[in-house]
Each structure stands twice: as C-alpha cells, then as structure tokens.
C-alpha cells in the first residue's frame, strides 16, 4: 500500500478577508489542521478599510446633513459643526467594535496557525512564507484585490488618494477630484461634499452608477449636484494630472472640449484588480490579470486548490465572498460538491438615499433580448414620504412575461433593508401579485414595493 504523503496542514488559506476567514474557521471546527496567511492586515479589506469604516463615516455624515436641514421640522440646528478628529475616532471605534479588523488573535484562539507575510507557491502543494516552506493537502486562495491606478499621464507624480488612504486624512480636503463614479466613488463624493469639500466626480460612462438602472444614475446625479454642490462629469476622459505648487491640475476632455480644473486632492475609484502575484504558475493554477479561473465548485485548474472572493475578478460584494468561502470549505471537507447560488444577492450603495438592487437590471434584460414588464413607484406615492419629508426615490420592478419578478431596484432611505423582500422574491420566483398581496406595514417605506408590484399586470 502506498504511503500517504505527510503535509504540514490539511488546509492553508491565503488571505484573511471575507473570502478566506469563513473557510478557515469551518475547517478548523471540523478538526482539520489549518493555517491562514495574510500579507497585509488581518481581517482584510472590509472591516479595516472599506465597508466598516466608510459606513461608520457615512452614518455620521448623513446624521449631520439631516440635522443641519432640520429647520423645516422646527429644529434650530443650522449652526451645527463637526470635529474631524472626533469623527475619525468614531470610525476607529466602529472598526474596533466590529472585531473583524486586525483579528489575528481570533484565528489563533480557534487553533489556526497564523502567518503575517506574503505567500508564494513553490509547487502545487508547497508555498514559501517568510523564508519558511509550508505544505498542505488543500489550499484556498482568497487574496482579494487592490485599487488600480488609471492610465492617466502624470498621475503617479501628481500623487493621489485611494478609498483606503483617504481614511487617514487629517482633515477633509478643500477640493477633491474623484475618478470613477461607481458605488465607492459616489459614496465618497456624497460624504466629502457633506463635510464641506468641493467635489468633482468623473466617469467615462454616460451616467454615474453605470451598473445600475438608468433612473438611478439620473436621480443620484441630480441629488449630488443640486443639494450637495458637486460637479458631475459623465462621458469624461481624464487626459493628465500634474502637481502645481500645493495643488493638482487635472486636464480632461468632455463632449470634444478640453478643460482643466485645480484641486487639492485626487481620489482614484475606477476599479480593483485581483491580487494574483503569488507564483500561481508553479502550482499549475490557470489565471489571467483579470482573476483566477474556477469551475462551478470554485476549484482552480489544480483540483486541490480552490479560490474565492475578489481574486476571481468578478464584481463582488463582501456577502458574496463569504458565500463562496463557505461553499469552498464544504467542497474541501465533503465528497459531494456544491456550487454557490448567487441568485438574489443584493448590490448596495450606501449613499443617501440608499441604492439597492437585485437580480437582472433593465440593461441585462435588453442584452438577453428578454420580454419584460416593468413598473416604477415613486416614493411620494406612500405616506411615509410626507411624515419624513423625503420624496427623492422610487421602487422599480422587472418581471418576465409570466409576471415572475426577475429584477428590482430600490432608491430610498433604508434601501439596504428594504431590498431583502425583493431578493427573496427573485430567489424563489415569486410573482408580482404574490408580493403585492402580502400585507405591507402602513407608514413604512416598503409600501412602495407593494405599489410597484401592484402595477405589474
């Protein structure tokens, strides 16, 4: 009988963010010998520099903005101010409370070996970490992604912020030019504008939030420009950036006209690229600069090596990476393989109003040549818009020819909470009539869901 190869670990997880953490814990609790390797800060992007700190700051910004405009409710609040060091202290407290940032001890308490260093594959079953060689029967690659610098002449010399480094600013810049008007760009544009920064936000696409339905971009552009004083530059190509004394000069072209603007800081939010520089060719793992290729079970071309999260190069949310991490762990532990079911995974922008969508967008349906029915219910149709004095938003539903819901978008306060009813409907193929006939609480924003569903016949 052939002697079984002895490995140092049953599973080595590379990356301690959402894509890696769940699998490491599941395998350790199943009695496996697990190691987790992190090149940066334990906990990865979400709790340290993206979701948690930015949402903590966005919450404070929204509260400040609402309070400042309280005169219409009879509140005397126009003289309110803020203290930026205190705001940063609040953000740090939120990160600390969440407990997932810088959480090396958490893994060690679970009996998982931890290594704080980059990993590099030497062969399909062996990696080097900090000049040590470690072997494992299985690997999970969850190295995530990083912000990519756009191809703009002079931008490296001019200097720029990323959504991560922006969090370390001692005070808000007087003016900020944001390149990229996706979810993160729009969240930061609104937040910085509330804190008094003159914001420019530019994107090559025809609208901001280009991955959402057209109505979303139109409304959010109006809110950013009218109520926040931001300058929105769609269909704009950035030509160059250069340092001028203490400021930065941006040259861009829009509608065939070349223009320049001077700002204090530039922020890049054009997109992220997977972290694939870890010797994958030595492990026979197929990948491109756009990400690692996996089958429906999240296995790479080397069947004992799995990958999950942003390193796959898909448009990802933290909850999707967690889902993939759990599926990968299950597939490594059991012979019966499963696949992640992404149906009903919400997409969120934590602006105010919030933007949440699920299922197919109208553009997706057009590309697939689907026959659809759609309806929109503006927020001003429900009583809550009167008691809260807020009318900018809507619920949009898309159904197939049999009235089964296949897509939905909510632009409203608490959109991230409202969307789950629609995620459930899309995932379980409910009809518009089934949603419309479900009692919806009076004076909730969710009444707009009932109205929109009732309009699809």
Going by C-alpha positions, the residue among 108, 115, 105, 106 that lies closest to residue 136 is 115
User: What's the rounded mean pLDDT across residues 306-314?
Assistant: 96
Residue percentage of the chain with pLDDT more than 90? 96
Number of alpha carbons in the 13 Å side-chain half-sphere of residue 212: 29
CATH architecture of 347-454: 2-Layer Sandwich (3.30)
**pLDDT band per the 50, 70, 90 thresholds, residue 197:** very high
**Residue 3 confidence (pLDDT):** 54
pLDDT range class, residue 404, cuts 50, 70, 90: very high
- pLDDT at position 2 over 90: no
Please state which of the four CATH numbers 3.30.2080.10, 2.60.40.10, 3.50.50.60, 3.30.43.10 is assigned to the domain occupying 155-270. 3.50.50.60
| Inter-residue contact 95 to 56 (CB < 8 Å) | yes
| pLDDT confidence of residue 300 | 98
pLDDT at residue 21 is higher than 60: yes
pLDDT at 79: 86
Q: What is the mean pLDDT of residues 112-125?
A: 97
Predicted structure pTM score: 0.94
pLDDT above 90 (res 158): yes
Which burial class, exposed, middle or buried, applies to 234 when counting CB atoms under 10 A from its CB (0-12, 13-18, 19+)? Answer: middle
C-alpha 277/C-alpha 272 separation (Å) is 14
Confidence band for 386, pLDDT divided at 50, 70 and 90: very high
Nearest to 108, CA basis, from 20, 23, 24, 46: 24
Evaluate if residue 390 carries a pLDDT over 70. Answer: yes
Nearest residue to 230 (alpha-carbon basis) of 260, 203, 194, 265: 194
Share of the chain above pLDDT 70, in %: 99
For residue 170, the number of C-alpha atoms closer than 13 Å in the C-beta half-sphere is 0
Q: How confident is the model at residue 277 (pLDDT cuts 50, 70, 90)?
A: very high
3-state secondary structure of 355: strand
Q: Across residues 385-402, what is the average pLDDT?
A: 97
Mean pLDDT of the chain: 96
Q: Domain 9-44+101-145+273-333 belongs to what architecture?
A: 3-Layer(bba) Sandwich (3.50)
Checking 250-256 for CB contacts under 8 A at 24+ apart, the result is: 250/177, 250/200, 252/202
Q: What is the pLDDT of residue 1?
A: 53
Residue 257's DSSP bridge partners are: 254
Q: Give the pLDDT of residue 5.
A: 74
* Strand 265-268 relative to strand 175-179, pairing: parallel
**Joined tokens for residue 334:** 């059991």
Mean local confidence (pLDDT), 22-26: 97
pLDDT score of 443 more than 60: yes
pLDDT band (50, 70, 90) for residue 262: very high
* Contact yes or no for 416/422 (Cβ under 8 A): no
Can 9-44+101-145+273-333 and 155-270 be said to share one CATH topology? yes
Query: What pLDDT, on a 0 to 100 scale, did the predictor assign at position 412?
Result: 98
pLDDT computed for residue 4 by the predictor:
67
Q: Where are the domains of the chain?
A: 9-44+101-145+273-333, 155-270, 347-454
Tokens 């109006």 label which residue?
A: 222
Instruction: Put the strands of the sheet holding 247-254 in their side by side order.
Output: 236-244, 247-254, 257-263
pLDDT digits (tens, 9 = 90+) for 51-65: 999 999 999 999 999
Longest dimension (CA), the chain: 84
Q: Note the pLDDT of residue 328.
A: 98
**Concatenated DSSP letters for 61-109?**
HHHHHHHHTGGGGT---TT----HHHHHHHHHHHHHHH--TT-HHHHHH
pLDDT at 316: 77
Provide the pLDDT confidence category of residue 77 given band limits of 50, 70 and 90: confident
| Total residues found in the chain within this entry | 457
Coil, helix or strand for 450? helix
């Amino acid at each position: 009988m052939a002697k079984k190869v002895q490995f140092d670990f049953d599973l080595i997880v590379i990356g301690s963010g959402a894509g890696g953490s769940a699998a490491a814990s599941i395998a350790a609790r199943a009695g496996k010998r697990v190691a987790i390797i992190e090149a940066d800060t334990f906990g990865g992007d979400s709790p340290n520099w993206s979701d948690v700190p930015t949402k903590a700051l966005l919450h404070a910004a929204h509260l400040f903005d609402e309070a400042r405009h309280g005169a219409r409710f009879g509140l005397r609040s126009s003289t309110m101010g803020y203290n930026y060091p205190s705001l940063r202290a609040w953000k740090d407290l939120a990160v600390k409370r969440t407990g997932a940032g810088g959480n090396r001890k958490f893994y060690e308490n679970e009996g998982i070996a931890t290594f704080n260093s980059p990993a590099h594959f030497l062969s399909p079953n062996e990696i080097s970490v900090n000049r040590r060689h470690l072997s494992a029967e299985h690997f999970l690659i969850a190295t995530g992604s990083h912000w990519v610098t756009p191809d703009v002449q002079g931008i490296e010399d001019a200097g720029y912020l990323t959504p991560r480094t922006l969090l370390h600013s001692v005070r808000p810049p007087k003016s900020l030019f944001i390149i990229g008007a996706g979810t993160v760009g729009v969240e930061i544009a609104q937040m910085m504008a509330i804190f008094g920064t003159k914001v420019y936000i530019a994107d090559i696409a025809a609208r901001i939030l280009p991955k959402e339905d057209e109505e979303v971009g139109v409304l959010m552009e109006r809110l950013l420009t009218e109520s926040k004083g931001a300058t929105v530059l769609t269909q704009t190509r950035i030509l160059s950036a250069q340092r001028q004394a203490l400021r930065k000069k941006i040259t861009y072209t829009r509608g065939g006209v070349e223009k320049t603007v001077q700002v204090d800081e530039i922020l890049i939010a054009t997109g992220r690229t997977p972290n694939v520089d870890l010797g994958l060719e030595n492990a026979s793992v197929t990948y491109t600069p756009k990400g690692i290729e996996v089958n429906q079970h999240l296995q790479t071309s080397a069947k004992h090596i799995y990958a999950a999260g942003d390193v796959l190069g898909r448009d990802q949310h933290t909850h999707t990476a967690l889902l993939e991490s759990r599926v990968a762990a299950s597939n490594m532990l059991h012979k019966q393989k499963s696949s992640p079911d992404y149906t009903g995974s919400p997409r969120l922008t934590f602006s105010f109003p919030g933007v949440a969508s699920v299922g197919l967008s109208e553009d997706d349906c057009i590309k697939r040549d689907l026959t659809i029915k759609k309806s929109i219910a503006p927020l001003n149709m429900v009583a809550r818009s009167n008691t809260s004095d807020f009318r900018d938003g809507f619920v949009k539903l898309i159904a197939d020819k049999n009235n089964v819901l296949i897509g939905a978008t909510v632009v409203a306060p608490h959109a991230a909470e409202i969307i789950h009813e629609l995620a459930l409907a899309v995932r379980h193929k409910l009809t518009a009539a089934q949603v419309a006939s479900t009692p919806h609480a009076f004076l909730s924003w969710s009444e707009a869901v009932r109205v929109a569903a009732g309009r699809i016949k």
